Copies of this chain bind each other. A is one copy, B any other.
């Protein structure tokens, strides 16, 4: 038996679950986990299901489910659970998110493959070397940005990348690149969005005198720090914390939030509905 995970998004109407159950039945499948949600704001039906089936490829499963569900015009993903999502990591100079993702990758805690790490600075190459993962330096200046982004897209294609993760990558992506990576690029912003967008959020937070600082993982969109939110978390601070101490404290929240967001995407638990995410846990 193989285990498959399917996600489905389509306009809401009666009969979807029944049609799906019949598709699974045709595949001699046994459902082991199932979540669904009907979004009343957009009348969108979302479902995530894990099931075991003797079907020997995700292509076969996809074909069967596409037929069973075709009448509902679904957006459908199917993945053999043993086939891990391929993730390209982008970094600059801060290493805390990279170190954490590499550690979770090495221990098997995070079910992803990391075919390549990209950076606009050479500083973190030793970490990539230690992990035995190719490190590609792509410097970015105002003038070379289009060329740099083209190189990145080549790597995405070459390595069959499912997801790009900006692990404290300090360059803003062009609108064009954001569109090309829509729904498959995750950024970690070091504030509790929508508070403190843009640069130096901890210094903004310190100046405002907040009592909690936070981090937000979201899909990248052309509008800066406005993409659909996948995960957020906060940590308590008090008056005695300087802005620099907030930066240090914030590292723990950032790495925790980013790794949870990557895990959810990698396990097909996130479905985009308009400007928001449905996250099945």
A contact residues vs B (CB 8 Å cutoff): 13-15, 17-18, 21-22, 24-25, 28-40, 96, 99, 103, 107, 109, 130, 192-196, 207-212, 214, 228-234, 238-240, 242, 248, 251-252, 256, 273, 275-279, 281
Q: A24-B18, A192-B192, A192-B195 are in contact. Are A36 and B40 (CB under 8 A)?
A: no
Interface of A is mostly: mixed
B109 A248 Cβ-Cβ under 8 A: yes
**A242 to B276, alpha carbons, bound, how many Å?**
12
By a CB distance below 8 angstroms, the chain B residues around A276 are 208-209, 239
By a CB distance below 8 angstroms, the chain B residues around A211 are 229-232, 279
Chain B minimum-CB-distance residue to A233: B212
Chain B minimum-CB-distance residue to A192: B192
Query: Could you say how many copies of this chain the assembly holds?
Result: 4
**A251 to B15, alpha carbons, bound, how many Å?**
37
Chain B minimum-CB-distance residue to A208: B194
Chain B minimum-CB-distance residue to A30: B14
Nearest Cβ distance between residue A161 and chain B, in whole angstroms? 25
**A230 to B109, alpha carbons, bound, how many Å?**
28
By a CB distance below 8 angstroms, the chain B residues around A37 are 33, 239-240
Nearest Cβ distance between residue A10 and chain B, in whole angstroms? 14
**A87 to B17, alpha carbons, bound, how many Å?**
34
By a CB distance below 8 angstroms, the chain B residues around A21 are 17-18, 21-22
**A130 to B242, alpha carbons, bound, how many Å?**
32
Q: Could you say which of B107, B234, B238 contacts A279, with CB atoms under 8 Å apart?
A: B238
By a CB distance below 8 angstroms, the chain B residues around A99 are 103
Chain B minimum-CB-distance residue to A195: B195
**A276 to B14, alpha carbons, bound, how many Å?**
34
